[in-house]
Structure 1
Amino acid sequence: MSLISALGFWNTNAARHTPIEDVQGVFTGSVVSALGLYILASAGLLTGSTAGVAFLLHYALDVNFGLAFFLLNLPFFYLSLKQLGWAFTIKTFIAIGLTSVIADMQSRFFVISSIHPAWAALLGGLLLGYGLLALYRHRASLGGVGILGIYLQERFGIRAGLVQLVIDLCVLTAAFFVTLPSVVFYSVLGAVALNLFVTINHRSDRYIAL
């Protein structure tokens, strides 16, 4: 009975997840996010936030994406620790590590030989949105702008998705210097799909488990 309760099947506290619920939420969010990143990469597209910068370094300098993504997020842990606490910071650190490793391992399990960039942008963006939503609802994120977005939403009521969308568009504007305009266009499509999904579905006044 205690195991079933710990798994969350009979969790009667609507405002708090059990530790095992958090484990599955962080793991699932990381797996889905890594899949979204892999689909974008398979079409040669980018996204925003620190993942977008990691993509830029990967395409321009052939830097390992997973390693760049992990390292770029390190400075944001200070903000996370100071403003959002140890629990959020630790779960976010784990989510970033898992996503980085899984994103690099995807090609060992399956290969996307052909995909239209418009479909890759939409599918990759929505998968990233689902992954981020799962992480947000378990008090975690993929770092970078996600940390800043959650802080601004909880502190000032500014939607996290809108914050991320503005910064993502700035990152994608920089992509004009390292890739083709068509790639940037489809990447913007993916960023809009991702951030509109998060903006519509992530509301702290609606989902009380935050």
Structure 2
Amino acid sequence: MDPQELPTDPHRHYEDVMAMLIGTLFVALGVTLYTEALLLTGSTAGLAFLLQYASGWPFGVWFFLINLPFYWLAIRRMGWSFTLRTFAAIGLVSLFSGLTGRWVHIDGVAPIYASLMGGCLIGIGMLILFRHRASLGGVNILVLYLQDRHGWRAGYVQLGIDGVIMLVALALLPMDRVGLSVLGAVALNLIIALNHKPGRYMGVS
């Protein structure tokens, strides 16, 4: 039977709410590990990290502001439901990324551990959001649109864009931290590429 013909079991509202909270908490913890180790990831979050390190303003403020222009594309290409869910996810990550530092006190973390574990946490959080028709905005909206419209694998497209952001990061961060950030980005995007394929997960919201 064609995967598109299989019956679906729509997510209930409380399942969407739980997924939104769990997914954004995972991402926020990953952001906290990256901040402690002076690392960054890709997409709009990567830009927010760069601006945080350059200006001293919190990650959450930059992350929320950078995503504002992308809502137009989200509304036009993905619909109001997806856009509102994404707006909520971005707002929660912006909030939780600031609060996690108060909830979790990290005296020290090995950069390579922060890179791999932070990348895995952010990747799993994004995967949860994707499966409940939400994203973390910005480039995530673009890559999801390209996957839905052209069948391009979201993780691989994201990986290419992240590479450009890492090159820019060389102007602000030590080379070893950029190298570890690349390792974390690979872990993050492999999680998405291997688990977010058309037809693999049939749940809908």
Asked if TM exceeds 0.5, the reply is yes
Residue number in structure 1 paired with 2:105: 111
User: How many angstroms apart in 2 are the aligned matches of 1:112 and 1:168?
Assistant: 27
Aligned to 2:183: 189
Instruction: Name the aligned partner's letter for residue 166 of structure 2.
Output: L
| 1:179 counterpart (169, 173, 177) | 173
Deviations along 1:86-129, whole A, 9 cap, x unmatched? 11000000000000100011111121111111111000000001
Indicate the residue corresponding to 1:121 in structure 2.
115
Aligned length: 198
For the residue of structure 2 that corresponds to 1:75, the secondary structure is helix
Instruction: For residues 178-205 of structure 1, give each alpha carbon's deviation from its aligned partner in whole angstroms, at most 9, with x where no partner exists.
Output: 1100110000000000001100001121
Amino acid at match of 2:68: L
SS at match of 2:25: helix
Give the counterpart letter for 1:28 in structure 2. Answer: I
Query: Cα RMSD (Å) of the superposition?
Result: 1.0
After superposition, residues 1-210 of structure 1 pair within 5 angstroms as 14-210=8-204
Which whole-Å deviations, capped at 9, do the CAs of 1:148-185 have from their partners, x for residues lacking one? Answer: 11100010000111111111111111000011001100
Query: C-alpha offsets along residues 13-40 of structure 1, whole Å, 9 cap, x if unaligned?
Result: 7341111111111111111111111111
Aligned amino acid, residue 94 of structure 2: S
SS in 2 for 1:200: helix
Name the structure 1 match of 2:3: none
Give me the identity figure in percent.
48
- Where does the alignment leave 5 or more consecutive residues of structure 2 unmatched? 1-6
CA distance in 2, matches of 1:119, 1:169: 20
TM-score by length of structure 2 reads: 0.94
Alignment deviations for residues 61-109 of structure 1 (CA, whole Å, 9 cap, x no partner): 1122101000101111111100100110000000000001000111111
Amino acid at match of 1:107: G
- Paired with 1:91 and 1:159, the residues of 2 have a C-alpha distance of 22
Task: Return the offset for 1:141.
Answer: 0.4
Q: Secondary structure at the match of 2:40?
A: coil
Runs of at least 5 residues in structure 1 that lack an aligned partner in the other structure: 1-12
Secondary structure, aligned partner of 1:177 = coil
Distance, in Å, in 2 between the alignment partners of 1:92 and 1:32 is 16
Matched residue type, 2:54: A
